[in-house]
Structure 1
Amino acid sequence: MAPPPAAKNLSEPSPEVHAPVKKRRVAKPKRKAAPAEHGDAHAGAHLASEAQQVRGVVDAIVEANARYMKSHDKAYFERFAEHQSPRATVVTCSDSRVQTNAFHADAVNDLFMVRDIGNQLATAEGSVEYGVRHLHTPLLIIIGHAACGAIKAASGDYGALEPAIRKELATIDIPKGIDPTNGALLNVNNQVETAIMTYAGEVEAGKLAVLGAFYDFRNDLKQGYGKLVITNLNGETDPAKIREMTRAGQFFKYSFMK
């Protein structure tokens, strides 16, 4: 009998897997004039520091994945290897401080996550539509957050930013100079309203609830650090009425529906 294969080091890239690569002609960047020797030394030290930082991040990600693999057996992955059935479509901000594990249990096929700057529908239409109309999630959640850079930028002068960023900020409809927290809350309400109109067919058929929330990692709303505060339910923004609706399980109740 042949001896068992040697165990592989999961923290290293696998030499057995070769991703297909399409060759492309890439224009070489124009080189600037060579700096002075002191500048060369400074630039070299900076690059070495950045390379070390990147290596640390990659090592941490690979090691975390190895721990994750070790703590989940084959049966765990087989449960969703061929299909997904998420319980909700979630649109939240790309901001790294929005930690999805703060409101996402480690459940199989739990949430269909969509992330962009400003947690908006306009720049992620295809992804959101896929979750609502192809995966048929009965719940669409829009999650804004404290200290949102997109909200701060959209409420100010962002004309000097790159065109691609300006394009995404332009679809965040909030007043100039608005308080960042109020701006984030208003943006959530705007996104909920947009979702209700976009998916009117699902809403009117009682197949989709739209919920707005604010992830408060700074305790700006004074309800606790890290609190996910529900601020809008199907267009209703009054906190007392939202509490009443959630307690009664009226997640498909809309004010315009009798």
Structure 2
Amino acid sequence: MNKTWQIRSLQAAIMVLVGASLAGMAQAEEKAAAAAEHSKPIVLPGKQAASAAAESSSKTIVLPGKLAASMAAARAKPKEPETLQPEVKQSAAPQIKTPLGPSPEVHAPGMAAHEAKRRAKPHRAKAKALPHKPEESSHDEHGHGSEVQQVRAAVTTILHDNTDYMAHHNAAYFKTFADKQTPRATVVTCSDSRVQSEVMDKSAVNDLFMVRDIGNQLATAEGSVEYGVRHLHTPLLIFVGHAACGAIKAASSDYSKLEPAIRKELATINIPQGIDPTDGALLNINNQVESAILKFSGEVEAGHLAILGAFYDFRNDLRQGAGKLVITNLNGETDPAAIRALMKQGQFFKYSFMR
């Protein structure tokens, strides 16, 4: 009886020892697994990661247990948002004005300070008006007064003469051409202020289709000339040059320093350098007539257009009287005697070589 009990007690003790041993082995395995989880190899970024992966088979970097656990906890912890340092201040968000609101004023640089200074100044009483200062009485090279005097005088003259013109022409006079122009001649003159229509026509209104440019040229006013010839059907085209022409003087000398637009117009005046101004003006007239003949040959040959050249001689350079309008070219004819004969015979629609 006693032996049996002793055997059973021995067996129970053995079973307790075996169970404790198994429990200890299980705990040891769990610890080993945890240690293995935290001791995985470190993978570096970019090219270093590839190099580390290549070496992982031969060498594995194992972190100590506490460091591995700390890094794992850091990975699991959510990242807190960064905050600005106390000394860094954020500006408030700008307020956006509605499109219908007033637009900001535009000031030149420095105007804001100037405006603030102006507003800060105390209000002052208006200064007493100074006595009227008479306009300068100095005259320019043309005998005119100051620019203000010139403008005032010119406007006064224009308005006075227009009033006088109205007084001498009633409504019936204007009614004859109110709706349509019917000129008899297209006249190309120089822009020179000394050349005006009244030197050749006392009543140029609705009689002369006037075209003006420097050097009385066809090239620089071709559209206007063509309109007069082919749309208004004027039977006469006349180019009027004149004495002491500034365009002729410029075209026959060095004009490279003049403005581009002026140089462009002078370039089409085909005369020799250094030519006498009167001879240059006469040559230019012949050139303009020749150009017009080439352009309007059909009208001339059909007997619908006469092309003349004339020289307005207010200096009496041709010794035929100051202010005389001298016909110098008729459809290419430049001989004075031949021109007089053709005009006397009424032969206005023939070229010089057709006689």
Instruction: Name 1:121's counterpart in structure 2.
Output: 218
Within 2, Cα distance between the matches of 1:53 and 1:256? 51
Within 2, Cα distance between the matches of 1:50 and 1:237? 44
Within 2, Cα distance between the matches of 1:205 and 1:225? 37
Q: Deviations over 1:78-116 (max 9, x none)?
A: 000000110110000000011320111215521101010
Within 2, Cα distance between the matches of 1:108 and 1:126? 21
Within 2, Cα distance between the matches of 1:111 and 1:139? 10
Query: Does the aligned pair in 2 maintain the 1:80–1:108 contact within 8 Å?
Result: no
Instruction: Name 1:246's counterpart in structure 2.
Output: 343
Q: Find 1:139's aligned residue among 221, 236, 239.
A: 236
Residue 130 (structure 1) aligned with residue 205 (structure 2): no
Within 1, Cα distance between the matches of 2:350 and 2:294? 15
Distance 1:107 1:164, change over 3 A: closer
Within 1, Cα distance between the matches of 2:327 and 2:222? 23
Instruction: Name 2:283's counterpart in structure 1.
Output: 186
SS of 2:310 mapped into structure 1: strand
Query: Does the aligned pair in 2 maintain the 1:189–1:232 contact within 8 Å?
Result: yes
* Aligned pairs, number: 214
Within 1, Cα distance between the matches of 2:241 and 2:205? 24
Residue 209 (structure 1) aligned with residue 312 (structure 2): no
Task: Compute the displacement of 1:236 (Å).
Answer: 0.1
Q: Find 1:59's aligned residue among 156, 167, 172.
A: 156
Instruction: Name 2:332's counterpart in structure 1.
Output: 235
* Pairing of 1:1-258 with structure 2 (within 5 A): 49-106=146-203, 108-257=205-354
Query: Does the aligned pair in 1 maintain the 2:197–2:204 contact within 8 Å?
Result: no
Q: Deviations over 1:168-216 (max 9, x none)?
A: 0000000000000000000000000000001111112111110000000
Give the fraction of aligned pairs with identical amino acids, expressed as a percent: 74
Query: Does the aligned pair in 1 maintain the 2:311–2:327 contact within 8 Å?
Result: yes
Aligned partner letter, 1:53: Q
SS of 1:124 mapped into structure 2: helix
Q: Deviations over 1:148-180 (max 9, x none)?
A: 000000000001101110000000000000000
Within 1, Cα distance between the matches of 2:344 and 2:268? 34
Query: Does the aligned pair in 2 maintain the 1:79–1:108 contact within 8 Å?
Result: no
Off by >6 Å, runs of 4+ in structure 1: none
Given the two structures, how large is their TM-score scaled by the length of structure 1? Answer: 0.80
Higher helix share: 2
Instruction: Name 2:32's counterpart in structure 1.
Output: none
Query: Does the aligned pair in 2 maintain the 1:85–1:109 contact within 8 Å?
Result: yes
Aligned partner letter, 2:299: E
Asked which structure has the greater RCO (Cα within 8 Å, sep 6+), the reply is 1
Within 2, Cα distance between the matches of 1:257 and 1:162? 43
SS of 1:82 mapped into structure 2: coil
SS of 1:123 mapped into structure 2: helix
Which sections of structure 1, spanning at least 5 residues, go unmatched?
A: 1-43
Given the two structures, how large is their TM-score scaled by the length of structure 2? Answer: 0.59
